[in-house]
Copies of this chain bind each other. A is one copy, B any other.
């Protein structure tokens, strides 16, 4: 059985296609009588508009694409989920694209999205600088500084502020030598956090020294050995600002392996305020990103962009973060 189309509705209602269309979209004029009749028939038949036809006709797909490095990461899944919710309310569906930080997959996705006539694209984070090839499709960057910052909208947490406050909080709790633990790869957010960390040191008259302050690492197996070597090389270290909660937890388990106690021997602050932070022992101090705000701003700006056809005002929006202090960075 074929699906009912607008033509069927017209026939069943005894009116023309045009009238049905007008009623459905509530534009043009029509009598209350015909409106009722048509709506009845629609109800009855379970008619649903064909999006492909509508898209083709209107050159608009009512869907937006989201490029995200890794949906199983807490911060990403959290923002994506919230964005998706807001967009759904507005009648948009969301095509989520996991790029796995792979530049080719990113490009392939971008092409597919364009091909599908998505009305807009949201790009979340990623390692490399982002070159957007198409100038005919609205997009917004979250957490990843675009190349032509002055020609786009860029929304991000204030990573600098978060790192600064975290570091200073360690210092205020008596730490003399806070180290920073971060990944090898350099996202724009990581850079900001690094800057915030260093500036906090500087403000408190602690001179930064790469070999004794910076521990680069991934989640590799031999992390504990790296950590041990680092601690031996620079035995004044008394605390860590970890660039995210996962790294902080890695630190937890490795330090414990080495027989160290948290927070007695080492104080630690993480970033993201993921569920990990609530359940670890000790509970983990962490910088909380305001994903609600980020999602809301993103959707609003994108939709404005889409419907006006141009960016109202190019801008960089920095969303404040909040340091949540728990046991891992407290005295006693």
Residues of A within 8 A of B (CB): 1, 3, 48-53, 55-56, 61, 63, 70-72, 74, 77-78, 80-81, 84-85, 88, 93-98, 100, 105, 108-109, 111-117, 136, 246, 249-250, 252-253, 256, 275-276, 278-281, 283
Q: Which residue of B lies closest to A108 (CB)?
A: B88
A111 in contact with B279 given A77-B72, A78-B72, A81-B98 (CB within 8 Å):
no
| Residues of chain B contacted by A94 (CB below 8 angstroms) | 95-96
Q: Is the CB of B61 within 8 A of A71?
A: no
Q: Of B51, B84, B253, which one neighbours A283 at CB under 8 angstroms?
A: B253
**A100 contacts across to B, CB distance below 8 A:** 85
Q: Is A279 a contact of B256 with CB atoms below 8 Å?
A: no
**Could you show 11 A-B contacts with beta carbons less than 8 Å apart?**
A48-B111, A48-B114, A52-B53, A63-B116, A70-B81, A71-B84, A85-B100, A93-B97, A95-B96, A253-B283, A276-B279
Q: Judge whether A275 and B252 touch: CB under 8 Å.
A: no
- Tell me how far the C-beta of A253 lies from the nearest C-beta in chain B, rounded to whole angstroms: 6
Please determine whether B61 and A52 come into contact, CB atoms closer than 8 angstroms.
Answer: yes
- A77: chain B residues at CB < 8 Å are 71-72, 77
**In whole angstroms, how far apart are the Cα atoms of A85 and B276 in the complex?**
26
Minimum CB distance partner of A73 in chain B: B77
Pick from B84, B97, B112: contact of A98, CB under 8 Å: B84
Residues of B within 8 A of A253 (CB): 278-279, 281, 283
Q: Which of B50, B55, B80, B275 meets A246, CB within 8 Å? A: B275
Most buried by B among A70, A72, A246: A72
A270 to chain B, nearest CB (A): 11
Q: What is the bound-complex CA distance between A56 and B52, given in angstroms?
A: 5
* Contact of A95 with B93 in the complex, beta carbons under 8 Å: yes
Task: Name which residue of chain B comes closest to A105, CB basis.
Answer: B88
Q: Is the CB of A81 within 8 A of B72?
A: yes
- Give CA–CA (A49, B113) in the complex, Å: 11
CB distance from A254 to the nearest CB of B (A): 10
Nearest CB of B to A53, in Å: 5
Pick the contact of A50: B96, B115, B249 (CB < 8 A): B115
**Assuming the A-B contacts A81-B72, A95-B93, A98-B85, are A52 and B117 also in contact, with contact meaning beta carbons closer than 8 angstroms in the complex?**
yes
- Bound together, the chains give a CA A158 to CA B13 distance in angstroms of 52
Cβ-neighbour of A48 out of B70, B72, B115, B278 (below 8 A): B115
